[in-house]
Amino acid sequence: MRPDILNPLFTESDTLDGVGPKLKKPLDKLGLTRVRDIVYHLPDRFVSRRVVETLDDAGEGEQIVIALTPTEHRAARSGRGPYRVLAQDNIGNICALTYFGRASYSAKKLLPVGEKRWIVGRLDRYGDMLQIVHPDHVEEEGGDTLGRLCEPVYPLSEGLTQPKVAGLVAQSISRLPELPEWIEPSQFDKQAWLSWSDALKLAHKGENANARDRLAYDELLANSLALMLVRADNRRRKGQPLQGDGSLRAKLQLPYQLTGAQARSVREIEGDLAQEAPMLRLLQGDVGAGKTVVALEAMLIANEAGRQAALLAPTEILARQHFETLRTMAKPTGVEVALLTGRDKGRAREGTLMGLLDGSIDIVVGTHAIFQDSVSYRDLALVVIDEQHRFGVAQRLQLAAKGKRTPHTLAMTATPIPRTLTLAQYGEMDVSRLDEMPPGRQPIDTRVVSLDRLSEVADGVGRHMANGQQAYWVCPMVREHETEDIAAAEARYAGLKERFGDDVVLVHGQLKPELKDAAMERFASGAARLLVATTVIEVGVDVPAATLMVIEQAERFGLAQLHQLRGRVGRGSEKSTCLLLRGDALSEVGRERLALMRETQDGFRLAEEDLRLRGGGELLGTRQSGDTPFRVASLEQITRLLPLAHDDARLLMERDGGLTGTRGEAARILLYLFERDWGVQMLRGG
C-alpha cells in the first residue's frame, strides 16, 4: 500500500484550484493527471530578462522589462488586424504593444493612457516601428516585475498557457509533504545536494543543474532499487533446475558452426538453467547475429529435461516466421513445434491447446495468445521473449507469475543499446552479448544520396529488380502522426506501382493483418520484388534475397533505427546496398548520423554514438523519447548519474535488503513516488 504521506501528491489534478473539465483535458494530454505529475513537470528552459531604462538600451529580439507609458490606443483597421497600444519610454521613444484577437480586450483595461506600466516581453521590430507582441506581463508600479526576470518555460499542450501551468505548479509545490531522505548520506554530502522538496522548488525557479541532478538521481535510484529487488526476489524463488543430456541438440544438423559468441551464450544459458532459481537472462545481439539458434538450443535443453518451452514474439508476422524457421531447424530432433496466435480459431486451436496440455507439443511459438488464461501447459519450464524492448519489467513479472513454478526466462533483443541503458532497462537480468557476427557476411555498401536524385534512384531500383533481385523502400517520416506517414507511403507506393506494376507491394501499420501478411508473403516468396513500407519492417522479417534498401529522409531517423532498417539487407551471400536519401535541410546532427552510418556497421558502436548525439542535443534535458524508462532523468544524466545510483542501491540492498530500517523505509516511499511499486511488492508483506 502506498504510504499515506504521499497521498497529497497522488490526488487528481482537478483537486487544484482552477482545474475543471476544460483544463483537465490538456493536462491529461501531457500526462499530468495527478499533483505528482505536475510537480515533476519541469521547465524545458528559462527565459531571462533584463531591466532596461530606455528602448535605446535594448537590443532587438531581447527579453526585457521596461517602464512604458501608453499614449494612444489604435483599434484594428480591419476585422483581423492587430490592436495596438502606442507607449513611450522615459525619453520619448515610442514602442507598440501589439495584441491579436481576444487578447485586445484585456489590453484596453491593462494599459490606460497616461499611466506608467511595467511591461515584460520580447522587443521586436515591425517595419520601422519597435514593438512587443503580446507582452508576457503588464504590471502596475510596485508590481512583481523583479520576480519576472527569470521565468520557466514549460512544455504545453493546446489549451494551456505558461501562466496557467506556472500557477498549477506553484499550487502543487505548496502541497509538497516533507519526505525522509533516501539518498546515502555520504553521497548526499559529496554532491552538496538539497532536500527533495527544496530541489523541486528550485528546479522550477531557475537553471539549477544541481537541483535537477538530485531529482534525476532519485528516479534512477528508484529504478535501480526496484530492479535489484526483483533480482533478489528471483534468487529466493524455487524454479525447476533443468539438466539437458545433449541428446536432442546432438541431432541438430546445422549447416554451420556456432560462433564463439553463440557458443558462449549457450553455455551461459545452460549454466543458468541448471540452477534452482529461475533464469533471468537477456540475449543481446544485433540483427543477423544469430539469436534464433541460441534460443533453439535453450529450448531443446528444456525438452531434453522433459519439459516444454515457449517463444513469445511481438507480432503475428514474426511469430509465423520464427515458427517456420524453428520447425525446419528442429526437424531432425523430432521435437514437436506448434504455432499459436490470436488468429487461430476452432479445431486447429483446440488441437494445439490439447497438445500443450498433454505435453505432446514440446515447443510453442506465438504471440501474447500463448499466455491467455485459456491456455494451460503440462510443464512449461522456459519462456523465450523475442524483441524484449516492447515489454516493461512489470509485464515481464506478470509472465513469470503465470506458471505454478516460475519458468526460466530468456529475453532477446536485437537493439544493441549502450551499456548504461542496458543497466537501466534490464538491470535485473544477466546479459549475454552476441558481439561477433557469423562469418562470411559482406559489408553493406552504404551511400548517402540527395533526395533530388529520386528518379535516378528509382532507375537503379528498376535495374536491380530487372536483375532478379529484391529491394525495400522505406518511406519518409512525415511527422509524429502515423496517418501522415501512411499517406506519404501510399503516395510513394502509387508512383512506384505505376512504374513497376504488380512487382510492388505495400505494408504499413494500419493495414489489416491478413493484407499485411499476404503482402509480406508475396515478398518473402519472391513473387513481389519491391516492398514499400513505413517503418513496420523494422522488427523482424528475414528475406535473404533482398539486397537493396532505400531509406527516404534518412536524416529524420535515429541512428539506432537506421541501423535496424539497414539490417534487413545483407542477410544473404549476395552483396547488398543501402541508399540513404537525404533532404536538403540537413542539421549538424543529421549530417553526423549519416556519416556514421557510412562508416560503421557495428551496432553496439552506433548505439553508443546515438546516445552521445542525442544526449548532446539536450540543454536542460528533461523529456525523453519513449526509449528509456525515465521521465525526469535526461540521457546525459542517465549516463553520468546511473552508475552512482546503482552503487547506492546496491549498498542499501546489502545493508537492509528488506527495506525495514530508517533509510529502507524512506526508500519504500521513493519507490512509490516513482511508481516502482512492483519493486516493493517483491518484499514479503510489502
For 639-661, the DSSP string reads: HHHHHHHHHHHHHHHHHHTT--S
Nearer to ligand ADP, 288 or 314 (CB): 288
| Cβ contacts of 404 within 8 Å, gap of 6 or more | none
The one segment of 86-94, 269-277, 284-292, 518-526 that binds ligand ADP by CB under 6 A: 284-292
Please, what is the minimum distance in Å from the beta carbon of residue 252 to ligand ADP? 12
The continuous run of DSSP H or E covering 218 comes out as: helix 209-236
Nearer to ligand ADP, 285 or 629 (CB): 285
Q: Which three cell numbers stand for residue 11?
A: 490526488
What is the b/e burial string over 637-669, where b = at least 16 CB atoms within 10 angstroms of the residue's CB?
bbbbbbebbbebbeebbeeeeebeeebbebbbb
CB 416 within 8 A of CB 282: no
Site string for ligand ADP, 212-251 (x = CB under 6 A): ----------------------------------------
- Of 404-443, binders to ligand ADP (CB under 6 A) are 414, 438
The one segment of 139-147, 255-263, 489-497, 552-560 that binds ligand ADP by CB under 6 A: 255-263
Give the Cα-Cα-Cα angle 496, 502, 507 (nearest 5 degrees): 65
Q: Which three cell numbers stand for residue 140?
A: 502596475
CB 381 within 8 A of CB 309: yes
Using CB under 6 A as the binding criterion, the count of chain residues that bind ligand ADP stands at 16
The one segment of 256-264, 359-367, 577-585, 638-646 that binds ligand ADP by CB under 6 A: 256-264
Nearer to ligand ADP, 438 or 615 (CB): 438
Nearer to ligand ADP, 201 or 571 (CB): 571
Select the residue interacting with ligand ADP from 292, 315, 446, 637 (CB under 6 A).
292
CB atoms within 10 A of CB 563: 26
Please, what is the minimum distance in Å from the beta carbon of residue 321 to ligand ADP? 9
Please, what is the minimum distance in Å from the beta carbon of residue 288 to ligand ADP? 5
| Cβ contacts of 511 within 8 Å, gap of 6 or more | 519
Q: Does 285 bind ligand ADP (CB under 6 A)?
A: yes
Select the residue interacting with ligand ADP from 542, 574, 592, 627 (CB under 6 A).
542
Select the residue interacting with ligand ADP from 293, 399, 537, 562 (CB under 6 A).
293
Sort strands 94-99 and 129-133 into parallel, antiparallel or unpaired: parallel
Q: Does 67 bind ligand ADP (CB under 6 A)?
A: no
Select the residue interacting with ligand ADP from 13, 262, 284, 637 (CB under 6 A).
262
Nearer to ligand ADP, 127 or 255 (CB): 255
Q: Does 259 bind ligand ADP (CB under 6 A)?
A: yes
Q: Does 558 bind ligand ADP (CB under 6 A)?
A: no
Q: What single-letter amino acid sits at 311?
A: L
Nearer to ligand ADP, 42 or 560 (CB): 560
Q: 90: helix, coil or strand?
A: coil
Q: Does 289 bind ligand ADP (CB under 6 A)?
A: yes
Please, what is the minimum distance in Å from the beta carbon of residue 331 to ligand ADP? 14
- Of 174-193, binders to ligand ADP (CB under 6 A) are none
Please, what is the minimum distance in Å from the beta carbon of residue 596 to ligand ADP? 21
Q: Does 564 bind ligand ADP (CB under 6 A)?
A: no
301, 369, 293: which is closest to 338 by C-alpha? 369
CB 277 within 8 A of CB 430: no
Please, what is the minimum distance in Å from the beta carbon of residue 320 to ligand ADP? 14
Q: Which three cell numbers stand for residue 650?
A: 546496491
Half-sphere exposure of 604 (CA within 13 A, CB side): 11
Q: 252: helix, coil or strand?
A: coil
Give the Cα-Cα-Cα angle 425, 26, 204 (nearest 5 degrees): 65
Percent helix, strand, coil in the chain, to 5, is 45, 20, 35
Q: Does 290 bind ligand ADP (CB under 6 A)?
A: yes
| Chain positions contacting ligand ADP, by CB under 6 A | 256-259, 262, 285, 287-293, 414, 438, 542
